[in-house]
Structure 1
Amino acid sequence: MEKNMKRSKEKKSKKKIWLWIVGSLIAIFLIFIGTAYYSIHKTMNKINTPLETTDSGEKEQKTVTKKEPFSVLMLGVDERKDDSGRSDTMIVVTVNPEKQTMKMLSIPRDTRTEIIGHDSVDKINHAYAFGGVPMAVDTVEHFLDIPIDYYVYINMDGFLQIIDTIGGITIENDMDLTYDSYHYPKGEITLNGEEALIFSRIRYEDPRGDFGRQIRQRQIIEAVLKKASTTPSILLKATDMLDVVGDNVRMNFTMKDLIQLQSIYKKMDRNIDQLSFEAEGGERINHIWYYIPDETELGKIQSELKAHLQ
């Protein structure tokens, strides 16, 4: 009898211990989820900035849907000390959810065009320096003759800190390059944040000039996305990544838009249709070098993007 009572007490004691352990794990999990939820919303509140026009009026905000096509301007801004920064990377992406297709166009930074709101003709990347995101968006809209619905601004210098957070990236370098003390041999190379930043800035050492730099910048972005999405341990560094994103990214996508984007992207053809301008087309005007796109080629690109958005 006493033995049975003793066993019963031991079972109850063990049961309490297991309940305590399970309860503690659930509590820790809920705290983690709650903290992550709070951190994500805190970051979204920081990076979400409505898009304005050059006359300081707030642009009508669209909402991402599963049917309506939309466009995005990605601005990779190189901000350094005592410099307002220029959008050295300008990429326009059009998305057609019904067709499940995406098109991507890189605009050469030295493209000569009218700067809307500044009453001048200059390099397209100067639009950001003159009037920030609003002037850059208005200028690209005029240049491509399409509406820009959303923008994503990235401070490249700060954003590449995320590469150190995820433990570096590996890319396939198509050309042997040297810049000061940095050497990037042809073939597979692994880069930390600082090495990736220099790699993304190289221009004059590459015979392709700005076109070569655009290729490397896309490689870096693709490598970051690939590693972040395929390495489970990255989740443990989510808070650090959110801090970097919060400090270096601005956009007019809302949390609801991003959730809808994720749903659309799952069904999307992952092979993005890459559009580009011909590498040749430079001309010096008043001792300044500009890229001047062929009018026929520009017209074809405009028509293709318009058709995709309609």
Structure 2
Amino acid sequence: MSNTPQEPSQAPKHADPDDEGLDLWRDDTTEPANEGEVATATRTARKKRKWPKIFLAALLAAVLLVVGVLFYYFRSISGALNEIHRDSSLMPDNTAVQPVETGKPINFVLMGTDNRAGVSGARSDSLILAQLSGDREHLYLVSFLRDMWVTVPANKVVKKDSKAKINAAYSWGGSALTIKTLQKLTGVQMDHAVIIDFPGFISLTDELGGVTVNNPQKSTIDGHTFAQGNITISGEEALLYVRERYDLANGDLDRAARQRSVITAIIEKSMSGGVISDPKKFKGVLDVYAKNTTVDSGLTTANIRKIATSLKFSSGKGVVQVQAPISGFGKSKDGQAYDIVDEAGMKELSTALKNDRMADYVANHPQ
């Protein structure tokens, strides 16, 4: 028998590739691990290597979810925008409507009309010039009282320029004549027109689940009382609120202020997280806008999307309310009570609108 010392037998190497690199988890100064230690280390290593895979899988799922939600919103927005009724006759001269340059203000004429069952000779119940500032940080809502005594350009009903209440322009020549009258009054070119009728207004406030406004004074109309302070209104109730003037201290001035505050509240609610984060409600609101709004042909889906994505405000705080100036009240030869335009004040307002200086105008004329 040979006395030659034998080399210690070598343990067979594990063929499992998951065992590779186990030495990374051992201290080189320690004794070789027994089989229990090896098994424990193997399970630990496998768990550690699974965490990156789990994280990547979760990240991928999150990305797919976000993409899916964005796709849904994009499709909802595109679908609603495509459904909006467009009327090439809303503007007085469509050839004059040119793409608005970047950094320049955009002037929208917003008209709420009294088109509804049982009413003939519809008039613009509310008339607002909404100017989006060149920097896209503010939207100025400038109300023009429906009884302002202005010059209405010659039209098919009245063949020559004539003095009348501004809302008569809508009954004589619709949106186009109203805009022509507003341009003559202000000397400012209007870019787009947006019309919503009473049924549409009711549907919109209902779909939003009501809007909250601060009511400066208590009033009653048709047996319904609106308390002073913060109130939430919707549907027929909201319509009564914006139409009342006889029970208000300053009549039409207060009604115009109410209309601006409700429009601001609608914008605020439409841009709120409660609407944006709820796909069903978001789509419902978009559908109501689409079904009950008429815009000029220049407000294409692409143009609306471009304007919307340029906005630099995301709540009603970016909306500024302004009242076009009047200097008093008068009565026409045929007995019509009307509001007298403040000529000097209108000239100042016109200059601010033309030069994108509404911030200065508001600072000099606190509302």
| TM superposition score category, shorter chain reference | 0.7 to 0.9
Could you say which residue in structure 2 is the equivalent of 1:191? 233
Task: Give the letter for the 2:149 counterpart.
Answer: R
Match of 2:326 in 1: 278
Checking the alignment, whether the CA contact within 8 Å between 1:66 and 1:260 is kept in structure 2 is no
1:14-93 alignment, distance < 5 Å: 30=68, 36-47=73-84, 49=86, 51-52=88-89, 58-81=94-117, 82-93=119-130
Structure-2 change in CA distance of 1:265 and 1:34 (3 Å): closer
Question: Are 2:138 and 2:313, in contact at CA under 8 Å, matched by a contact in 1?
Answer: no
Give the CA deviation at 1:161. Answer: 1.4
Q: Which amino acid aligns with 1:242?
A: L
* Distance in 2, Cα, partners of 1:279 & 1:157: 34
Instruction: Count matched residues.
Output: 295
The change in CA–CA distance for 1:191 and 1:267 in structure 2 (over 3 A counts) is: closer
> Does 1:243 find its partner at 2:287?
yes
**Aligned-pair RMSD on alpha carbons?**
3.6
- Whether contact under 8 Å (2:91, 2:176) holds in the other structure is yes
What letter is aligned with 1:60?
A
Where 1:266 maps in the other structure, the secondary structure is coil
Give percent identity, aligned residues only.
Answer: 25
Q: Kindly tell me: are residues 60 and 276 of structure 1, through their superposed partners in 2, closer, same or farther at Cα, counting changes over 3 Å?
A: closer
Q: What displacement does 1:77 show? A: 1.5
Match of 1:154 among 196, 203, 207: 196
Query: Is 1:97 equivalent to 2:157 in the alignment?
Result: no
Greater gyration radius: 2
Counterparts in 2 of 1:123-142, with a 5 A limit? 123-142=165-184
Displacement, 1:254?
2.3
- Give the structure 1 partner of residue 206 of structure 2: 164
Quick one: structure 1 residues 264 and 275, their matched pair in 2 at CA, closer, same or farther if it must change by over 3 Å?
farther
Assess, with a 3 A threshold, how the Cα gap between structure 1 residues 94 and 51 changes in structure 2: closer, same or farther.
Answer: farther
1:97–1:264 contact (8 Å) kept in structure 2: no
RCO comparison, higher one (Cα < 8 Å, 6+): 1
Structure 2, unmatched stretches of 5+, are 1-56, 358-367
The correspondence for 2:243, drawn from 175, 180, 201, is 201
Q: CA deviation at 1:48?
A: 5.3
Match of 1:113 in 2: 150
Deviations 1:190-248 (A, max 9, x none): 21222111101101111211111111111111112212222335532123222211221
**Alignment-derived partner of residue 310 in structure 2:** 264
Separation of aligned partners in 2, 1:305 and 1:232: 34
> Which of 331, 339, 345 is the equivalent residue of 1:291?
339
Measure the CA separation in 2 of the matches of 1:298 and 1:52: 28
Distance 2:145 2:130 in 1: 15
Change (3 A) 1:284 1:217: same
- Contact 2:327–2:340 (8 Å) recurs in 1: no
Match of 2:51 in 1: none
CA distance in 2, matches of 1:233, 1:300: 38
CA contact 2:148–2:166 (8 Å) conserved in 1: yes
Residues 159, 245 of structure 1: 8 Å contact kept? no
Pair 1:180–1:159, CA change in 2 (3 A): closer
1:165 positional shift:
1.4
Structure 2 Cα separation of the partners of residues 231 and 258 of structure 1? 21
In the alignment, the residues of structure 2 paired with residue 267 and residue 189 of structure 1 have an alpha-carbon distance, to the nearest angstrom, of 25
Distance 1:103 1:237 in 2: 27
Separation in 2 of the partners of 1:116 and 1:204? 30
The equivalent of 1:11 in structure 2 is none
1:43 touches 1:243 (CA, 8 Å); kept in 2?
A: yes
